[in-house]
Structures are given as C-alpha cells and as structure tokens.
Amino acid sequence: MWKKILIGLAVFVGLIVALVFWATSGMSGAADDFFNLLAQKNYTTAYKQYLSSDFKSKTPLTKFIDYVKANRFDEVKETNWGNRQINGNLGELEGSLVTQNGSAIPVKLKFVKAGDNWQIYAINKPQSGINPSNSVDKKESNNDTNAVSLQVPTNQEIITLITDSMQHFSYSVRDKSMKEFYDNISDMWKEQTSLEALNRAFGKVLNANIDFTPLIDTTPKINKVSITPEGVLKVKATYDGKAINLNGDYIEVETNYINENGKWKLLGFTFRIKKRV
C-alpha cells in the first residue's frame, strides 16, 4: 500500500516538474536564443527581438552592448536554468552561464509576456568578489557593475561635435540630399529612420537655396549641455546669422548624441532659423 502511495507521489511530483518545465519553456528558449545571438556578436538583433519595450526605453543599444561586454555575456557557450517561476504574464529564470573558457556566471532574468512571446524585462547579475558591508559602498559598487558612467565632454570637444554635425548637414543641404548627413548619424538613429524620411523632414531646408557651409568655419555658442540617465548627450547651441547673410537672425541647433563604440554619434538634430527679439 505504502509503496503504491510513494510511487503515486513520485509520479505526481514528476508531473508537476514536467508542467513547470513545459510552462517555462518559452522563457528558457528565448533566453537561450538571446545568449546565442550575443555569442555571435549580433547585439542589435538580440536587443531588438528579445528585450521588452520598457527595457529598451531605459537602456540604449550602446549602453546595452557595453554592459554585455563588461559581463562577458557575449562569451557564453552554454546556459543552465535551475530555478524557474511563472505567474501569469510574468516569469523568472535563474541559473548560470558557462563561458568559452569554462567559467560560470550566475544570472537571473525577469520576463514579461508580450502577445505570444516572452521578452526580457530585467537582467540581474550578482556582484563578484568581496562585497563591501557598508550599504552606501554596496550601492556605489552595484552602480559601477551594472551601468556605464559617461562624462560630459569638454566645451572644445562639444564644439568639435557640433561643427562636425553642421558640416555633414551643410554639405547635404548643398547637394539637396541628406545622404552625407545620414551616412554619419548613429546606428541607433539609422534603425529608426531612413534617408528618404530625412529628405522629407528637411525638405523645406533642402529647397530653400541657402548656403549653410560658412557655418562650418564659425564657432557656435554652446548654451546648454547635459547627459540623461540613459546616456544621451543633449546639446543646445546657436550660430550668428551674419555668417550666412541673415542679419538680425540666428540659427538655433539642438543635437542629441549617443556613445557608440567609444565615439559620440548623432541621435537627433533640430535646426531652426530664428529672429532676435
């Protein structure tokens, strides 16, 4: 009798485990595909296909790539998922990642279900080494581990960035095509727009027959500089309209830059001709 009961319990527990693995197979499959893409250095596809919209809204592609490289997620050859949890449209996987040199990295992934697909909502990796006991030190240490610290460039570096962007913009307006400008913007912006879209957006400027190339040799006045928590460098600057024979007017430029592979690349560009009050 007891033997039959024990066998029955074993079968029942086995069914529960099987059901948990079946229910979480979508998450583990997505996680495996995600790390396979990273191992192939296909960061953009992994970012676009397997991260939730909320994750991407708070973490730009370049910052994500920096985080992946810093934690060696692009060196993973094997994944092992032990703890699995699911609660409606939310789920978690906890396990270890085995790198190409055989070392193991503990990691926890949080998922959210979007339609029929599981998307990664958060990636948590415990801090390695000796953890400081002071809570303030812990917070600072975790920030160092999980985020990329970007410093505001010097005023001269910002002027160089603005001048470079203005050069590509001015030459494109002269050629009545935004191709040169488009070729020099960030990969992230290119993923969101096309050359045709930029030609339409700047159509009035392209047809205005104004030569903006003298601005290339004109030093802009930097009015405001800041870096957002997402790592976007935002710059506001102005040019004196006299440089292009617009007496009494001035040119206002707002630019956004994102750090891609160690270089600031253009993520947004607004150009206005304004009258002095």
Tokens 């985020």 locate to 147
What is the residue range of 59's domain?
A: 17-146
11 within some domain: no
- Is there a single domain that holds both residue 41 and residue 88? yes
Q: Is the pLDDT of residue 135 over 60?
A: no
Mean confidence (pLDDT) of the chain: 79
Q: Confirm whether 261 is domain-assigned.
A: yes
d(CA 271, CA 256): 12
- Do residues 171 and 258 share a domain? yes
Q: Predicted confidence band at 145 (pLDDT cuts at 50, 70, 90)?
A: very low
Give me the pLDDT at residue 277, please: 61
Residue 128: band (very low, low, confident or very high) from pLDDT cuts 50, 70, 90 = low
Region 92-99 average pLDDT? 87
Q: Examine the domain organization and report whether 105 and 207 are in the same domain.
A: no
Residue percentage of the chain with pLDDT more than 90: 26
The answer to whether residues 271 and 222 belong to one domain is yes
Pairing of strands 104-114, 90-99: antiparallel
Report residue 126's pLDDT band, with 50, 70 and 90 as the boundaries: confident
Separation between Cα atoms, residue 240 and residue 179, nearest integer Å:
26
So what's the pLDDT on residue 140?
40
Q: Is position 77 within any domain?
A: yes
Say whether both 139 and 164 belong to one domain. no
Does residue 226 sit in helix, strand or coil? strand
Lowest-confidence range among 66-70, 166-170, 270-274?
Answer: 270-274
Instruction: Determine contact, residues 215/166, Cβ cutoff 8 Å.
Output: yes
Domain shared by 94 and 179, yes or no: no
- The most confident of the ranges 34-38, 145-149, 245-249 is 34-38
Give the pLDDT confidence score for residue 210 in this predicted structure: 82
Q: Say yes or no: 252 and 226 in one domain.
A: yes
Q: Is residue 8, in this structure, part of any structural domain at all?
A: no
Q: What is the mean pLDDT of residues 168-187?
A: 92
* Whether 168 and 130 share a structural domain: no
Residue 113 counted as domain residue: yes
| Least confident span in 8-17, 89-98, 214-223, 252-261 | 8-17
Question: What confidence tens digit (pLDDT) does each residue in 3-32 have?
Answer: 433 334 433 333 333 333 334 467 888 899
Structure confidence at residue 47 as a pLDDT band (50, 70, 90): very high
Better pLDDT: 3 or 257: 257
- Domain presence at residue 23: yes
CATH code where residue 243 lies: 3.10.450.630
Q: Are residues 59 and 123 in the same domain?
A: yes
DSSP code for 185: B
- Listed residues 100, 115, 146: the one ending a domain: 146
The kind and range of the H/E element at 116 are none
Pair (246, 210) in one structural domain: yes
The last residue of one of the domains, among 115, 146, 177, is 146
**76 falls within a domain:** yes
Residue at which a domain ends, from 114, 146, 178: 146
Do 40 and 122 belong together in one domain?
Answer: yes
pLDDT of residue 39: 94
Same domain, 118 and 178: no
- The residue type of 127 is Q
Q: What is the CATH number of the domain that holds 138?
A: 3.10.450.50
SS3 153: coil
Instruction: Report the alpha-carbon distance of residue 18 to residue 11 in Å, rounded.
Output: 10
Name the 3-class secondary structure at 221: strand
pLDDT band at residue 177, thresholds of 50, 70 and 90? very high
> What mean pLDDT is predicted for residues 197-222?
88
Q: What is the pLDDT of residues 54-69, one digit of tens each?
A: 888 888 998 889 889 8
Domain count, the chain: 2
Q: Is 136 part of any domain?
A: yes
Query: 14 versus 272: which is more confidently predicted?
Result: 272
Instruction: Label residue 46 by pLDDT band (50, 70, 90).
Output: very high
